Structure formats: C-alpha cells, structure tokens
A and B are shown apart, each in its own frame.
Chain A
Amino acid sequence: MSTGNMNLTLQVWRQKNSKSAGKLVDYKLSDISPDMSFLEMFDVLNEQLITKGEEPVVFDHDCREGICGMCSMFINGQPHGPKDLVTTCQLHMRSFKDGDTIVVEPWRAKAFPVIKDLAVDRSAFDRVIAAGGFVSVNTGNAQDANNLPIPKSKADAAFEAAACIGCGACVATCKNASAMLFVSAKISQLALLPQGQPERYRRVQSMVAQMDEEGFGNCTNTGACEAECPKGISLENIARMNRDYLSAKFISEEEV
C-alpha cells in the first residue's frame, strides 16, 4: 500500500526570491500512491531533489488537516486543486490519473507577493484584521456567558462565517484579486452577533479602508471566490458587508 504506480509530470513555479523572475520547471515523478496527499507527493519530489543535490521546492504548509490555512497551491488553474471544499493538504492523489501533467503555481495577487517558489506573503490579511476584525473587550471584563442568549440560528450563521481559514484562495481565484470574501466573513461573524454591534459600522469602514490600502481589487460578483473556497464561505457575506458599508455612510459620525 505504501508505494503506488502513478506516473506524473509536474510543472512547478520556481522563483528564487521576491525580486527575481520565476519560471515553470518540469519534474517527472513515478510510483506515486493514490493514497498520498498532494503535499506528500511534494515531499517525495523534494526528497528526490535533495538527494540529487538540487534545491527543494519551497511551499507553505503546516497542520496538513485542512484547518490552519497555510497551504496555498494553485493547481491546474484552481486554488487547492480540482476538488470542492478541500485544501491542498487534504487533496489526495486519487483525484488525479496516471500520466497526468499537473501545473502548480503560487497564489497570484498584487497584495500577496511571492516570497520563494510557491510561498507567498499573506500578511495583508493580518493587517486587515488588525484594522477592526475584533470586539474591543479586554481580558477580565466579561459577564457570565449565559447572560447573553443568542438565537441558535444567529450563532450558527456567525459560526459559518467564522469558519474561514484565511488561506487566500478567494483572492487567488478572483480575476480582480479581491479580498471581499475574506473581509466580509469576519465582518459578518461579528455583525450577526450582539457582541459585535457597538463597533459594527466603525469596523466595516476601517476594514474596507485597510483592504483597499493593501491593494486588493474590487468585487464584480463573478462568484469564483465562493466556488473555490475550501470552507464554503458564502457570497451572502459580501452582500451583508456591502449593506453595512452603505449603512455606515448614512449614519452620523457620532454613531459610527
């Protein structure tokens, strides 16, 4: 079971650093098992490269169970590859066929510069969160949690938005490199909950401003982000964010 019989051709983006130009390089792999994850297939490639004295391919990854949001490959033109609702680390080689050629590129967006090979800099997302993706409550001030009943439907909807893993697939797949799905998911989570109300309109304004400053594009409602999101984050969040953003404009300064 350990070794398989798939033979593959990989075309992998190699780029020395953020300043150099990159290119696609071909690699042949054999004896790949369909039970391997896509990243384990890359482990095999890297082991071979190291043994041959070449530099292994740099790619981001950590938990390998689809929750940390660190892995980020653009596979055959799709972020996280061909399967719906999975990250690259949860994509298995049984989703490919013997003899396939697979093209692997980094996320491509102005706001996500390539660091090396397939790894990109997504710190723009942290700065968007730092601009307002929180409830301003210091440690030690909280009332008893059950003093604030929240309807199950609201709590569930907030959870669904909060399930975003911040991987950036939405940006990578968007022709405008828009971060609206990511930003709106956080805004929605907090807008749906009573805890988020006091800062609701201030939050949407400052997060959107930061999003624009980072160089993300605008949303033209093509819906690619929702289709490619490994966690199924809904476009409804973008509608909610736009509604709140618009409302914020009509609310007097003091209320925001």
Chain B
Amino acid sequence: MSKLNSNIPAGELTQKWTKYKSSVPLVNPANKRSLEVIVVGSGLAGASAAATLAEMGYKVKCFCFQDSPRRAHSIAAQGGINAAKNYQNDGDSTYRLFYDTIKGGDYRAREANVHRLAEVSANIIDQCVAQGVPLAREYGGLLDNRSFGGTQVQRTFYAAGQTGQQLLLGAYSALERQVGMGKVQMYTRHEMLDVVVIDGKARGIIARNLITGELERHFGHAVVLGTGGYGNVFYLSTNAMGSNVTAAWKVHKKGAFFANPCYTQIHPTCIPVSGDHQSKLTLMSESLRNDGRIWVPKKKDDPRKPSDIPEDERDYYLERRYPAFGNLVPRDVASRAAKERCDAGYGVGASKLAVYLDFKANTERYGRIEASKAGNHNPDKETCMRLGTAVIKEKYGNLFDMYAQITGENPYETPMRIYPAVHYTMGGVWVDYDLMTTIPGLYCTGEANFSDHGANRLGASALMQGLADGYFVLPYTIGSYLSKEIATKPIPTDHPAFVEAENEVKATIDKFLSINGTKSVDHFHKRLGHIMWEKCGMARNREGLTQAIKEIQDLRKEFWADVKVPGSADEFNPELEKAHRVADFIELGELMCIDALNREESCGGHFREEHQTEEGEAKRDDENFAYVAAWEYKGVSEFELHKEELNYENIKVAQRNYK
C-alpha cells in the first residue's frame, strides 16, 4: 500500500487546485524549448494536451493509429458536455456538479480530482467557443443547454447530436495549427507498442509505422497517454473498431498500475443486436431520454404493435420505480432496469432483448407549443404531431436518421427499440492528482485513466474530463515533473533500453506471424467478448467470474497456438494490428474478472448479484471496499492488489437514491 500516493494537495477542497496552480514549479521559455513530450492518442484528451503543451513552448510529438487525428473516437460522442455555468439560472454551481459526479460515480471517485474537474468545466466551454466550435444557441444568441441523466439542472452544452465531433474538430484545429507552425510533429498511422523506461522513468516509446511496418524509437522527457478506453474487450461495444487497450496495457506490464478495471459502463440506450454478423453497436444518445419515455408492455410476450398497445397497458418502469428522476436516472440504473424487465419476459422485438423508447407524448407536447406560438390554441392531434415532429427533428435529426438507416424502421412513426450496450470504461491506468502513473514521467489522461468517474460515469462527463485533462490540468501538472528535468539531455535512441524494447516488440510480431494457425484474430476476439459479456457484463457473480477466468486463460493458450495472422511485418497489415490488440484484450479481460471477483460489493456499473438490496439496487460495502483497486502486473495471470483508500471529507456518503 505504501507504493500508492495520490499526492492530493493539503488544504480545503475548494482551494486545493487554486493553491496548486500558484505554487507548482514553472519552466522558463528557453528550457521548455528543449524539453520533449510524447503524446500518444489524438482524441479530446490527447489532441488538447498536445496543442496546449506546444502553445506553451514544449517540443511535442503526437501519435495516432488512424489516418488523421480527427478520426479519434471522441468524434462519435453525441449528446453533450457538462459545465457548471449556471446559464439557465437553475441553481447550478461548481459544488453541485462536483456532488452530482461523486454521487453518480457511486462514491468511488476521488473528491479532489472531481472538484478540480468541476472547477475547470466552465473554462472548457469558454475555450471551445473561442475556437469557433458551433455549440447550440437560443434565439437570443446565447448558449443553449439540455438535461442529462443523474442531475436535476440543465448544464449540458451540445451541438445537435454531434457534440463530440465539434469539440474534437476544435481540438484538432488547435493541434493542426501547432503542426503547421512546426511545434508539434504529428505521426499518423503509427501505433505505440511499448514504453521505454530508463532508470525508472518513462523516456520514450516504440511505435510501429503502420504503412511500412517499420519499428521506430522516439525519445521524450515525458510520455502522455490519451489512448481512450477498453470497451472493445467485449468485442461488441459502441467503441470504434480500432479502439484498443494496447498502449495502456503495455505501460501496465512495464510497471504502471491498472485501477478498477471491472468498472465498465453499459449504456442503456443502444440499437439492439440484430445478428451474428454484427461488428459493433450503435449508441442512441442519452439526450433522447429528455424527450423519450421508456416502456415495455405490461403483458408478457405481447404480440401487438407498440402503437396498438393502449396507455394503461404500458409499463413506464423508470417513471414507476424512480419518480424523482424518471427517465433521466443514471446509466447504470437505467441499464439494469431494462435488463430486469427483459429477463422477466417483458422484452420486445424479435430477440425480446429490447425495450421501447417512445417520443410520441413529447412530440405532441412540442406540437401544441408550436401551434400556440402560431396562434392556434386548439390544435387537433394531427397538427400537433406534424409540428412536433419538426421540433424533434431539429433536436435529434441525425440520431433518428442513423436509427432508420441501421434498423430499416422509421422512429418518427414507431418507438425506437433499444437495449444496453458496452460504452465506456471508468477503470484505467492509475494516476495521482498530477495525472502521473506509477511510472515517473508517464502520464495518463482522458478515458484511459481511472480518475474521475468512480464506478459509474454520468452522461456528458467524458467530454468534460477529456478536455479538462488536456487543456487545463496536465499542462500545469506536467511542469511539476519537467521542471526537474531541465538538465536532462535527450537520450540517444541507441540506448540499450530502446534496443531491448524494440527487440521485444519485434519478437512478438515474429511470433504472431509464425503461428500460422487455423483461426482469424476476430474469431478469438468474438469468443473473448462472449465470455466477458455473459460473465463480466451487466450482472456478475462469483461462480461466473471464476469460470470466466479459467475460460480466458484457456482462450489465451489457444490464441497463441492457433491464431492465423496473414501477410508480413513490413507492410500495411491490419490483421497484425488486430493481433496485438486482441492479445492485450485477452490479458486485460482476465484482470477485469479478477477485479470483479475481488470487489465483493455492488457499486455503479459493477453489479454483483450477491450484493443487492431487496429492491434490486446496488448494495455497496463502504466499510470494506471504499478503495481504489490498483493492480500491479507481476507476470502472466499474476497481479498484486494495492489499495488507495477513498476519504470523503466534504460529501456525506449515502446510498444513492433517485426515487
């Protein structure tokens, strides 16, 4: 336990960050020019960090595996970004955003980190608007807000259903500006395959040029990972096909602790699985729960079309169970409630693994308002629906189009069918208050770290955290480390540590190509995903997890004996890329199950069937599990647990109540 020091500054919660900023050591401009920082990943966290560090004067190299930094999966975030602006005058404040986030995370996040996040949230909106990010506005020209789950205020800023796209393009443009000025060297279609540690400090990376296959050595005085989450361990998730854990897993194996891996977020509103061919799942934004009501028929296996089922034969189960928050309960609660109904036999659609998300009532309500604005105070139903549909279309048009495209159904006429799917991972590389991992000089930002969301992330908080880390936190905290590195000369990349790391990577690649087995990488990935979803998904139990660990170990052996990776190492070879990623997912999957087995409580996204209240809600065990589980890699299938105790000095810990 002695190894973990969260380095939270002393003092009163609301003053910690302010004091930190005014006392953190500075690096003068001349020294910044000779300090090199490697940033891996170009999503919200990576791109914003790379751009800001370069603006400050550091020499930056930024890496992404996609063909352009603009492709990073942050681009797909739909609904919005939270900020404690209180523009709606509904009583919002930094404290309330802090409180909602801690409570939403089921009291498993660090107070100091989350308060800092809430403090800088307002700066993010200012920064993005200054960059020309076209966030949604009201007719008066001011910024618009909407509601998201787990809150009772409207603090979510958005750009239609494409908020992530617009924010990422803002960060991307800031990054490209620095690229144009020669202050960031951008390496696209490059994948980090190891970190280089010299004298206990992170000093560089080994990256593979995905086009030529060449292995490259890159030195940095510090290395920053902003490489996203590991939801693809489940094979089917809302992540992009290329989203992976490889960079995070490689640093884990070199000494960085991995925290709370079992905390995964299953998003309640995704388009249901339609068949075995499916390669990914598509999210329908949480913002839809502003205007969509979730229900199932009161009768089991009701064969009627949804429109033929009368009001009093519908079970609006979220409104029934959680009257105070209704359809806007947090994601973990909404997902479990959907699973409960489907498991009990009330599911809809061909697979019976879906519930309805119905916009009819609110479409009619909007239509009535629009008719009234036009002077028609007694509109008929048809007029209401016509006018209301236009309003719904403006708010969520792209999401409705996407739904229609994927399912072949028209959601303006019939309710959407939705079901939970893997979406986000709260766990990740352990970091201290400075966002530094247990390897000095190695930092981790955004979804890749574990820090701010506890056991469950609230909607519209991922974009907030990614940009908070990259624009406003890391650029300060990294100075604390780099100020002590001004005398360190760049280490030549023929240093034995670079040579050794490159040789290890090369050996792994050679191994993949030499197995010449009978099954594709995807074959193993699908099987891993199946184990994870069935036994480490929305509900977990001791027996299932114990089985899963064994099954994953067997799968790993089979993978290394029977995988087929075609092509060669010195060319563009996407199958080889996938082989690296799936090999790492298999190892991570085992750790996730070990962590889930260790955590004998239910909290947030981690639901152990043995630990629930009489009403089926998650039952925490604060006495024994109010800690961060940080795992140290000790060898294949061997992990040592370190505990970081969580102390709540400002918030009274309670059972979450959304009733």
Give A215-227 as 1s and 0s: 1 = Cβ < 8 Å from B's Cβ atoms. Answer: 0000000000000
Task: Report the nearest A residue to B165, measured CB to CB.
Answer: A67
* Known A122-B67, A136-B177: A63·B276 in contact at CB below 8 Å: no
| A122 CA to B67 CA, complexed, in Å | 7
B575 an interface residue at 8 Å Cβ cutoff? Answer: yes
Q: Which of A50, A131, A137, A144 contacts B131, CB < 8 Å?
A: A137
A68 an interface residue at 8 Å Cβ cutoff? Answer: yes
Residues of B participating in the A interface, judged by any CB pair closer than 8 Å: 48, 51-52, 55, 66-73, 75-76, 85, 87, 123, 125-143, 159-160, 162, 165-166, 169, 172-174, 176-177, 179-180, 186, 188, 211, 238, 240-242, 274-280, 282-283, 350, 401-402, 405-406, 408, 471-472, 475, 518, 520, 522-523, 564, 566-567, 571-572, 574-575
Q: Which of A62, A70, A123, A155 contacts B134, CB < 8 Å?
A: A155
Interchain CB contact under 8 A, A35 and B139: no
| A76 CA to B656 CA, complexed, in Å | 55
Q: Which residues of A contact B142 (CB under 8 A)?
A: 146, 149
Interchain CB contact under 8 A, B134 and A50: no
Interchain CB contact under 8 A, A166 and B280: no
Task: Report the nearest B residue to A126, measured CB to CB.
Answer: B68
Interchain CB contact under 8 A, A142 and B123: yes
Task: Report the nearest B residue to A61, measured CB to CB.
Answer: B241
Q: Which residues of A contact B123 (CB under 8 A)?
A: 140, 142
| A88 CA to B85 CA, complexed, in Å | 39
* Known A43-B277, A53-B566: A195·B162 in contact at CB below 8 Å: no
Interchain CB contact under 8 A, B275 and A122: no
* Known A62-B242, A149-B141: A17·B571 in contact at CB below 8 Å: yes
| A1 CA to B408 CA, complexed, in Å | 14
Q: Which of B71, B85, B165, B575 contacts A163, CB < 8 Å?
A: B165
| A50 CA to B523 CA, complexed, in Å | 11
Q: Which of A123, A152, A190 contacts B137, CB < 8 Å?
A: A152
User: Could you write out 5 A-B pairs with CB less than 8 Å apart?
Assistant: A46-B520, A64-B279, A129-B173, A139-B471, A140-B123
A242 an interface residue at 8 Å Cβ cutoff? Answer: no
Q: Which residues of A contact B133 (CB under 8 A)?
A: 162
Q: Which residues of A contact B276 (CB under 8 A)?
A: 2-3
Q: Which of B126, B278, B575 contacts A143, CB < 8 Å?
A: B126
| A244 CA to B71 CA, complexed, in Å | 29
Q: Which residues of A contact B67 (CB under 8 A)?
A: 60, 70, 119, 121-123
Q: Which of A70, A141, A151, A195 contacts B141, CB < 8 Å?
A: A151
| A39 CA to B520 CA, complexed, in Å | 17
Q: Which residues of B contact A138 (CB under 8 A)?
A: 52, 55
Q: Which residues of B contact A2 (CB under 8 A)?
A: 275-277
Interchain CB contact under 8 A, B73 and A62: yes
Interchain CB contact under 8 A, B71 and A70: yes
Closest chain B CB from A148 CB (angstroms): 7
Interchain CB contact under 8 A, A33 and B134: no
Q: Which residues of A contact B406 (CB under 8 A)?
A: 37, 90, 92
Give A106-141 as 1s and 0s: 1 = Cβ < 8 Å from B's Cβ atoms. Answer: 000000000110010111011001111111111111
Closest chain A CB from B268 CB (angstroms): 17
A82 an interface residue at 8 Å Cβ cutoff? Answer: no
Q: Which residues of B contact A130 (CB under 8 A)?
A: 176-177, 179-180
A150 an interface residue at 8 Å Cβ cutoff? Answer: yes
Task: Report the nearest A residue to B279, measured CB to CB.
Answer: A40
Q: Which residues of A contact B575 (CB under 8 A)?
A: 50, 56
Task: Report the nearest B residue to A1, measured CB to CB.
Answer: B275
Interchain CB contact under 8 A, B143 and A62: no
* Known A44-B277, A86-B405: A158·B188 in contact at CB below 8 Å: no
